[in-house]
Structure 1
Amino acid sequence: MPLDPLARKAVLEHPQALDCSVYRPDEKDEDAEELDLGEARLLMLGAFEAPLDWDARQREEYFGEEDPALFFSARIECLAAPLSKAFFTTESGDYVAVQPSQGEVVMYYVYDQEEDAEGSRYILIRDDEEL
């Protein structure tokens, strides 16, 4: 789906959007340090709710061993200008570090991505381990 400048602007300027950093694991070396892609804004949409038509097997396959309460929906937009060298698009498998308050860092794993009328919607899994 092409980049929607209005959807992007809505996230970047939303008063409840949080500053975050996005990291990507090294595909060739799983023990290597993650690549710091850059700064972004994250707009939390709320808890992820599985579609009503999913049966128990579909829910089990999607959530796996993870607690469904740790799944959230969000929009993420890179701060860098779209045609700049620093611009990136968040992908499934990335990590997002959010600082909701001074001294607190919350990590999320980007589990899934969906496109809707308002742009990219990401399904995040909150890492509930203390940093």
Structure 2
Amino acid sequence: MCLADDLDPQKRMASRLAILRHAEAQDCTLYRPDDEDESDDAEELDLGDARILFTGLFQAPAEWSEAERAEFFCDSDPELFEMAYIECEAKPASDDFFMPEVGDYVATMPGKGEVVMFYVHDYHEDDSGRHCVLIRDVESLA
């Protein structure tokens, strides 16, 4: 996978381990919509456990036009867009390993039994890891 994306496998693995072990990384679980189940009450597929390291609010590039900003944010409040690295806890190349994709859901538990949900809106991957743009779900699941 690293070679297909022109990534340095050693740097990428070092970044992966650093994110998994980071003191501020939180446990999370990722879910993916089941594309084969077209019913209204379709369950998402439980991809498994991961670690998420939040890096701040998403800042649209200064060179984006108003039209580009409107298209990216749609009707969502820009304050709901956060950035985070997400790394699967399973070993790469194992059957349980996954990479976050656009459209996945991320469930976090930042504390006190509160569940905060996010939607993977976009991502960029380089040797530092998969840096995701997440949209926070404003409905509480506590």
TM-score range, shorter chain: over 0.9
Question: Counterpart of 1:61 in 2: which secondary structure?
Answer: helix
Q: Which amino acid aligns with 1:55?
A: S
Deviation per CA, 1:49-90: give whole Å up to 9, x if none. Answer: 000100111100000010000001100000011121111111
Q: TM-score, normalised by structure 2?
A: 0.88
Could you tell me which residue of structure 1 aligns to residue 45 of structure 2? Answer: 35
1:7 and 2:10 correspond: no
> Is this contact kept in 1: 2:15–2:127, CA < 8 A?
no
1:84 to 94, 115, 132: 94
1:103 and 2:113 correspond: yes
Could you tell me which residue of structure 1 aligns to residue 83 of structure 2? Answer: 73
> Is this contact kept in 1: 2:102–2:121, CA < 8 A?
yes
1:19 to 5, 10, 27: 27
Question: Counterpart of 2:69 in 1: which secondary structure?
Answer: helix
Q: Which amino acid aligns with 2:101?
A: E
Larger radius of gyration: 2
Bigger proportion of residues as strand: 1
> Is this contact kept in 1: 2:25–2:53, CA < 8 A?
yes
Structure 2 gap ranges (5+): 3-8
How large is the RMSD of aligned CA atoms in angstroms?
1.2
User: Post-superposition shift, 1:102?
Assistant: 2.7
How high is the sequence identity, in percent, across the aligned residues? 53
